[in-house]
Structure 1
Amino acid sequence: FLLTARIVRPINQLTRGTEEIGRGNLDYRIDVKSRTEVGRLAHTFNEMTGRLKEAQKAMIEKERLNRDLEIAHEIEEKLLPRPNHRIPGYDVAGFHQSARVVGGDYYDLIPIDDEHVGITVADVAGKGIPGLVVMAMTSALLRTHAPSYRSPAEMLAELNTMLLPNMRRGMFITMFYGILHLPTGRFTFAGAGHNPLVHFRADTGLQSLVGTKGIPLGLYGAGRFAEKIANQSIVLAPGDGFLQYTDGVSEATNPEMEEFGIDGILETAREDCARTSREIVEGILERVRLFARGTPADDDITILAVKRAAAVVSETGALRAGGSRK
C-alpha cells in the first residue's frame, strides 16, 4: 500500500497540475521532491509553467505597447492638417510619412486673421513617444500664440522660451515658420535651424534656395536664440510658389549610400513648377523612390508645397487670380 501511494500521489499531482494549466493558472507549481522519473517530470513541468508565465507577461506587454503606439499614431495624424486643407487664392499640398510607427515631423497651416495664414514645417530630433509629446506641445503652443505675433522670428523666439524648460537633454526641434499675406503674396518667414526654402517663379522658371539663419529650438536660452534668428521675405506673384521639407527628403539614400540631396528637389521644382502643388509633391516623392531603389527610409518624410493661383483674363479683359475663364 505504501509503495502504491508513493507512486500514485505524485502522478495525481502531475494530473492536477495539467488541469490547473488548462484553466490558465500559470502560478501553480507541483510539489514533488522525489528524484524519480516522476520527480524529474514534475521539475520540468514547473520550469515549463514558469516560462509560459513569462511568455504570457511578455505578450501582454507587447499588446499594451502596440495599443499605445496605435493611440500615439492616431494623435500624430490628428496634429497634421486635413488632406483637403485650403488657403483662398492658393494651391496647397502636403505629405507626411513616418519612418517608424510614430515619427517626429510635423507641418501645419494656422489661420491668423482674414488676410494672414501661418505656415510651419518642423522636425523633432527624437522620434517615438517622446518626440510625439514634444511635437504635440509645440503644435499647441504655436496655434495658441501665433495670432498674437506678426513677426515669425519673434514667434519662434517666444516658442523657444516656452519649450526650453520642458525639453529633455539632447532633444531639439528644427522649425520653419512663416506668415503669408494673402492679398499681396508676401511671405515673411524665419527658420530655427531648418532646411532652406525652395522658391520657384512662374515668369522665368527659375528656382532659388533661401536659407534661414536661426538655431534649433530647445538648445539655448532667449538671448543667444534671438541673436541668431531673423525674418526674411519673398513675394509670390501669380503662379509662383515655394517648397519646404524635412531631412527625410534631402537625406534619402540609395544602396550606394548616396544622398538624394537638395539638387534632386531643385530639379523637380524646375521641371514641375507649372504643375499643381499636388503634382509637384508627388513628383518629388517619385524621384526619391526611384533614387532609393528600395532602400528603406531612415527618417520621416514631410513636404509642403504652396503656389499662388495664376492670374487669368476674364472676358472683360480684367485680370483676376485663379478660377476658370468666364
Structure 2
Amino acid sequence: MEKFIRQNAEEYKKLLATYLESQDEQSLYGVELVSKRFIKYNILPEEIINLHIKALKELYPDLFVDFEHSMDFLLEAMITYGLSHQEIQNLREEQTALKSEISIAAEMQETLLRTEKPEIEGLDIGVLSVPAHQMNGDYYHFIKNNDGSLGIAMADVIGKGIPAALCMSMIKYSMDSFPEGSMSPHAILRNLNRVVERNIDSNMFITMIYAQYAPKTCKLTFSSAGHEPGFYYNASEDRFTEITAKGLVLGVSKDVDYEERELEINENDLVIFLTDGVTECRDGERFIELNEVLDVIRKYVDLPAQEMVNQVYKYFERLQDFQLRDDFSLLILRKVKKTD
C-alpha cells in the first residue's frame, strides 16, 4: 500500500502544482483519475490529506505557519473520520451478507413449508400467507388422510425471524411423521405440544388450530391451542359464528388436554381460519374492530374462495399503506355442491 501511495504522490504533486499555477481544468480531470485509483485500493481519507500536505510542503517550503497548522488540524479530523467511515463500511458489508443469508433462509423456508392446496370434491379452498418481513412466522398445512378426510392446520409463532422459521419447520415435519388418518385433532395438538415443550426455547410459544373435514358427513372436527378464533359463516342466515375450543398454546406446559368440537357445514357455508395479522390490522394508529374484518369477508362472499381471500388481503394491504405490521394468513373453506 505504501508503495502505491509513493507511486502516485509525485503525480498528485505535479497535478496540484499545475492547478495552483493556472487553475487548469485538465489538472482537475487528472486528479479525478488519481482519486479513482485511491478508491480502488481503499486509500483512507487521512492518507490522502497527508499526501496533500507533503506535496504542499515540497512545493512551498516557506508555507506560512498558520496554514500549515490548519492542515495538521484537518489531518487529525480526517483520521477520526476515516476510522468511523471504515466502521460504517464494515457494518454495511456485514448487513449485506446478513440480508443475503436471510434471503436464502426465506427461500429455504418457503420450500420446506410448501403445501399443495388439495382438490376435495364438494369443497372450495382459498388460502394465502404473506410475511410482514422476509421470514414468515405463520404457517398453514393440508394433509389428505387415507380415509378421504382433509387435515387443515394454521399456526402462528409468538416470535419472529429465523427462530420462528425454524419452529415452523419443526412443526411441519413433526406433523408429517404422524400416521395418516389415525389421529384426531386434539391428539395431534397434544403430541405437537410435547414436541414444542421439549425442543423450543421457553420464551417462544406457538398458537395453532387443527381441523379435519370429512366430505362424506360434511362435518368439521377441530381443536385449538390458544389460536385466534376462526369463524363459521351460515349462508342461509348470513351470519358469522365464532369457532373456538379450549386449549393452551403449544409449549407452555408438558401435559395439556385440548378440547375437540364438531361443526356440520351446509352448502355455501364458509369456515374461516386466520392469524392475528388479520384481526389486528391497523387503520393509521387505530386497531380495526373484528366486525370490520367480517364485513370485508361478507363483501366478497359471492366470489370463489381463492379470489375471496385475495380480495380481503388486498383490502387490508391498502388499509395499511402496503406496509404489513404482522404476518397475514387467511384460509377460507366453502362447502359447494358435489358434481354428479
Normalising by structure 1, we get a TM-score of 0.77
- Mapping 1:212-223, distance limit 5 Å: 212-222=245-255
Q: 8 Å contact 1:309–1:322 — kept in the other structure?
A: no
| SS of equivalent to 2:177 | helix
Specify whether residues 23 and 98 from structure 1 end up closer, same or farther in structure 2 by C-alpha distance, changes over 3 A only: same
2:57 alignment partner in structure 1 = none
- Mapping 1:239-258, distance limit 5 Å: 239-258=268-287
* Offset of residue 45 of structure 1: 5.5
Q: 8 Å contact 1:115–1:181 — kept in the other structure?
A: yes
Q: 2 CA distance for matches of 1:166 and 1:258?
A: 34
| 1:88-140, Cα deviation, whole Å (9 max, x unpaired) | 21211111111222231111112222512210111101011111111111111
| SS of equivalent to 2:282 | coil
Query: Is 1:23 aligned with 2:56?
Result: no
| SS of equivalent to 1:107 | strand
Query: Is 1:176 aligned with 2:205?
Result: no
| 1:26-54, Cα deviation, whole Å (9 max, x unpaired) | 7x98999x997576666555445433432
Query: Is 1:137 aligned with 2:155?
Result: no
One of 84, 88, 98 as aligned partner of 2:120? 88
Q: 8 Å contact 1:116–1:181 — kept in the other structure?
A: yes
Q: 8 Å contact 1:239–1:274 — kept in the other structure?
A: no
Q: 2 CA distance for matches of 1:179 and 1:21?
A: 63
One of 271, 278, 295 as aligned partner of 2:306? 278
Specify whether residues 41 and 275 from structure 1 end up closer, same or farther in structure 2 by C-alpha distance, changes over 3 A only: closer
* Offset of residue 257 of structure 1: 1.1
- Mapping 1:172-211, distance limit 5 Å: 172-211=205-244
Superposed CA RMSD: 3.3
Q: 2 CA distance for matches of 1:159 and 1:110?
A: 15
| SS of equivalent to 2:283 | coil
- Amino acid aligned to 1:254: D
Bigger-Rg structure (1/2): 2
* Offset of residue 300 of structure 1: 1.1
| Structure 2: gaps of 5 or more residues | 11-34, 55-64
Q: 1 CA distance for matches of 2:43 and 2:287?
A: 56
| 1:132-156, Cα deviation, whole Å (9 max, x unpaired) | 1111111111222262642111110
- Amino acid aligned to 1:147: E
- Amino acid aligned to 1:164: E
Q: 2 CA distance for matches of 1:15 and 1:113?
A: 80
Q: 8 Å contact 2:149–2:181 — kept in the other structure?
A: no
Specify whether residues 273 and 49 from structure 1 end up closer, same or farther in structure 2 by C-alpha distance, changes over 3 A only: closer
Query: Is 1:166 aligned with 2:199?
Result: yes
Instruction: Flag the structure with higher helix content.
Output: 2
Q: 2 CA distance for matches of 1:56 and 1:126?
A: 30
Specify whether residues 256 and 52 from structure 1 end up closer, same or farther in structure 2 by C-alpha distance, changes over 3 A only: closer
Q: 8 Å contact 1:104–1:124 — kept in the other structure?
A: yes
Q: 1 CA distance for matches of 2:295 and 2:320?
A: 19
Aligned positions, number? 295
| 1:185-205, Cα deviation, whole Å (9 max, x unpaired) | 221110000122211234444
* Offset of residue 77 of structure 1: 2.3
2:335 alignment partner in structure 1 = 308
- Amino acid aligned to 2:193: N
* Offset of residue 80 of structure 1: 4.4
Q: 1 CA distance for matches of 2:179 and 2:279?
A: 28
Specify whether residues 156 and 297 from structure 1 end up closer, same or farther in structure 2 by C-alpha distance, changes over 3 A only: same
- Mapping 1:22-41, distance limit 5 Å: 22-24=40-42
* Offset of residue 182 of structure 1: 2.7
1:65 alignment partner in structure 2 = 98
| Structure 1: gaps of 5 or more residues | 1-10, 311-320
Q: 8 Å contact 2:269–2:335 — kept in the other structure?
A: yes
Q: 8 Å contact 1:202–1:274 — kept in the other structure?
A: no
- Amino acid aligned to 1:165: R
1:50 alignment partner in structure 2 = 83
| SS of equivalent to 1:85 | coil
| SS of equivalent to 1:93 | strand
Q: 2 CA distance for matches of 1:29 and 1:256?
A: 51
* Offset of residue 207 of structure 1: 2.9
